[in-house]
Structure 1
Amino acid sequence: MEQKWLTWAKQIQSIAQAGLTYTQDHYDYERYLELRQLSAEMMETYTEYDMKTIQQLFTNETGYQTPKVDVRAVVFHEAKLLFVKEKADGKWSLPGGWGDVGFTPGEVAVKEVREESGYLVEARRLLAVLDHKQHPHPPSPYHIYKVMIACELIGGSAAESIETSDSGFFAQNELPPLSTGRITESQIDMLFAIHKDPSIAPVFD
């Protein structure tokens, strides 16, 4: 479960962003700016992010704040799951990333697999919609929904990308070091369980 200070910081940021968008009162605008600064100071105090980075994260969007959507492709082959090695931290995750405007979640999953691993897949079914804060991820300045989509391998071959340096299929008992900001071991265990029993309904929390 997400720590309360992080939940509060993100809620304060959300209120501030909505206020800055809709208020027509100069004095209220100043108060909302103060709220946003307070949330940024909370993040700086309790995370590894510096103030400049936090302010960029907290001010790069306008309008009513909504959760970001992280789409992950779940590609099994011969009882092994496809992972890609992230250049950002040198650890492994499922192919995926932020949802793209103009693309369905399935199209995002297919595109991310091709771009990050070199493999070609077809999206088959929704496996899970997970709330980032309900799982043991490191603290994040964003409220994130994670969408897991099962994909069928149809072709291609392993290739590096701008964001990844390697890819490979791994069995459940031989998982590589995970990029826990993107995927957790408990989520991987859930995906293997669904793969073994396709009758399990899509998971949500």
Structure 2
Amino acid sequence: MARIEHFNNPNAPKPNSIVVAVTVFVQDEQGRVLLIQRTDNGLWALPGGAQDFGEHIAETAVRETREETGIEVQVTGVVGIYTNPNHVVEYSDGEVRQQFSICFRSQYVGGAPTTSNESSAVRWVEWEALDRLSIHPSMRLRIDHGFERRSEPYIG
């Protein structure tokens, strides 16, 4: 399913849903962050996705990271909660979702980068290389906050 990200766009369609979702900020031993290139829009992003029924939210973070990247993680904290009403995602099936995402900080446990039907590329990326990748501003904010190691989670 295709998706279009609308960010601070006054002509964006009005949202018709809010879904609890996660993103996961995890670094390897060299301090690189794990990113995927999404198959639905081609942008680089932290792994993540929607919570399933019967699942604790931290389990969502672990499952989504494994499914999209082949990497096993353990949740260690919260980078931030991202709820900007001016960020909506329009899907080809008619859903227009207002952003609601919890970005978790996680520790690398094991596994090797592996693509999935949601990720055409998976790799560990150095801070210095981020500006060379096509990353949505909302996602870049989460990545920047993850690298900042704030004492308190971002709430916005």
TM-score if structure 2 supplies the norm length?
0.78
CA distance in 1, matches of 2:35, 2:154: 21
User: Is 1:129 paired with 2:81?
Assistant: yes
2:52 is the counterpart of 1:100: yes
Summarize deviations over 1:179-198 as a string: whole Å, max 9, x none: 528x532332122111xx5x
Aligned-partner Cα distance in 2 for 1:83–1:193: 17
Larger strand proportion, structure 1 or 2? 2
Q: 1:144 aligns with which of 99, 112, 115?
A: 99
How big is the shift at 1:85? Answer: 1.5
- Contact in 1 for aligned 2:46/2:139 (Cα 8 Å): no
Q: How far off is 1:88 after superposition?
A: 1.6
Q: Where do 1:2-81 residues align within 5 Å?
A: 2-4=8-10, 6=12, 9-10=14-15, 67-77=18-28, 78-81=30-33
2:69 aligns with 117
Runs (5+) with no aligned partner, structure 2: 1-6, 91-95
Percentage of matched positions with identical amino acids: 22
Which residue is equivalent to 2:109? 154
Structure 2 Cα separation of the partners of residues 126 and 170 of structure 1: 20
**Contact 1:127/1:150 (<8 A) preserved:** yes
Residues 145 and 138 of structure 1: is their aligned pair in 2 closer, same or farther, counting only changes over 3 Å?
A: closer
CA contact (8 A) 2:89 2:99 kept: no
1:90 match: 42
Instruction: Pick 1 or 2: higher relative contact order, CA cutoff 8 A, min separation 6.
Output: 2
How many residue pairs match? The answer is 143
Which of structures 1 and 2 has the bigger CA Rg?
1
Q: Which residue of 2 aligns with 1:54?
A: none
The 1-side partners of 2:63 and 2:89 are apart by 27
Conservation of the 8 A alpha-carbon contact between 1:178 and 1:185: no
Matches within 5 A, 1:175-186: 175=130, 177-180=133-136, 183-186=138-141
Pair 1:73–1:184, CA change in 2 (3 A): closer
Unmatched tracts of structure 1, length 5 or more: 11-57, 59-64
Q: The residue matched to 2:60 in structure 1 has which SS? A: helix
Task: Pick the aligned partner of 2:120 from 156, 160, 165.
Answer: 165
Instruction: Write the distance in 1 (CA, Å) between the matches of 2:81 and 2:88.
Output: 19
Q: Deviations over 1:2-35 (max 9, x none)?
A: 445548x34xxxxxxxxxxxxxxxxxxxxxxxxx
1:92 deviation in Å?
Answer: 1.3
Identify, as 1 or 2, the structure richer in helix: 1
- For the 8 Å contact 1:118–1:160, the answer to whether it is kept is yes
Q: Secondary structure at the match of 1:106?
A: helix
